[in-house]
Amino acid sequence: MPPQPEAHCVDAASDEAIVARVVAGDTMAFEAIVRRWQSPLVNLAWRFCRDRARAEEMAQEAFLRAWRNLAQFRGDSAFSTWLFALAANLYRTELRRIPATMQSLDEIAEPEDPIVAGAALDQSSRDESLRRAVLSLPVKYRDAILLFYFHEQDVPAAARTLRIPDGTVKARLFRGRELLRKKFSRARRATTFAGVAAQTPKEVQSR
């Protein structure tokens, strides 16, 4: 997850100092960058693929690419902005190459056993279904939603990472959430009705 804003400001200068050392030839100084940013980069990858092993592989590749291209970091923006943009770009390319295992909400709307499925649809499983459903959205909406929530609902930060205007992010967020809500509501309605139908008349009367 991204660090707190205050911590981020304090760390930005040291990030740039470390980058300068690495570019000057001190390879081991890069470890400080890896340790500081490993959690955000792994979590960003996790959001893109929902597969822990693959998330770590993609994050490692992102760090390697960052190390190779460190000399290209000019300091025009914060190091984190540069790093997240590089990582997001890599993750999107990787997902184009090998798509993530997605769970369509249309699929979970027709469970084999509605009683079990209805009971199992507690908050955590519903949240996980929703997160996986984000991956089934068209790419431009998926990326906007993933990065908006990754950046703790900060539109400008998501826009900087995606290198698109704020307005475009807002429009994609709106459309993506509409699509997701529509699909998710349909799935929930089907599951709820299945749960009601499964109850005995006595149970319904007692309510």
Partner 1 sequence: MKPNLTSPRFNSPELPEAEFDCALATDRDAILPSSGFADSVMAAVSHEASMPPPIAFPLRRALPGFAAVVVALGVLIAAIVGLLRSAPAQHPVSFSMSLQTMAAPILHDASDVLWLALSLAVSVGSLLFCRRLISTR
Binding site for partner 1 (CB under 8 A): 1-2, 27-28, 30-31, 34-35, 38-39, 42-43, 46-47, 52, 55-56, 59-60, 63-64, 67-68, 115, 118-119, 121, 123, 126-127, 130-131, 134, 145, 149-150, 152-153, 177, 180-181, 184-185, 188-189, 192, 195-196, 198-199, 203, 207
Nearest approach, Cβ of 134 to partner 1 (angstroms)? 7
Which residue lies nearer to partner 1 by CB, 50 or 159? 50
Nearest approach, Cβ of 68 to partner 1 (angstroms)? 8
Which residue lies nearer to partner 1 by CB, 72 or 185? 185
60 burial level (CB within 10 Å; 0-12, 13-18, 19+): middle
* Residue carrying structure tokens 């000057």: 24
What is the rounded distance in angstroms from the CA atom of residue 165 to the CA atom of residue 187? 33
What is the rounded distance in angstroms from the CA atom of residue 52 to the CA atom of residue 50? 6
Nearest approach, Cβ of 11 to partner 1 (angstroms)? 16
What is the rounded distance in angstroms from the CA atom of residue 75 to the CA atom of residue 106? 45
**Distances from the Cα of 102 to the Cαs of 65, 134, 178, in angstroms?**
27, 9, 19
Which residue lies nearer to partner 1 by CB, 169 or 180? 180
Which residue lies nearer to partner 1 by CB, 24 or 76? 24
Which residue lies nearer to partner 1 by CB, 163 or 181? 181
What is the rounded distance in angstroms from the CA atom of residue 58 to the CA atom of residue 161? 17
Which token pair is 156?
A: 């400008």
What is the rounded distance in angstroms from the CA atom of residue 10 to the CA atom of residue 160? 20
Nearest approach, Cβ of 72 to partner 1 (angstroms)? 16
What is the rounded distance in angstroms from the CA atom of residue 21 to the CA atom of residue 71? 11
CA atoms within 13 A on the CB side of 200: 3
Which residue lies nearer to partner 1 by CB, 9 or 119? 119
Nearest approach, Cβ of 4 to partner 1 (angstroms)? 12
Type of residue at 58 = M
Nearest approach, Cβ of 77 to partner 1 (angstroms)? 21
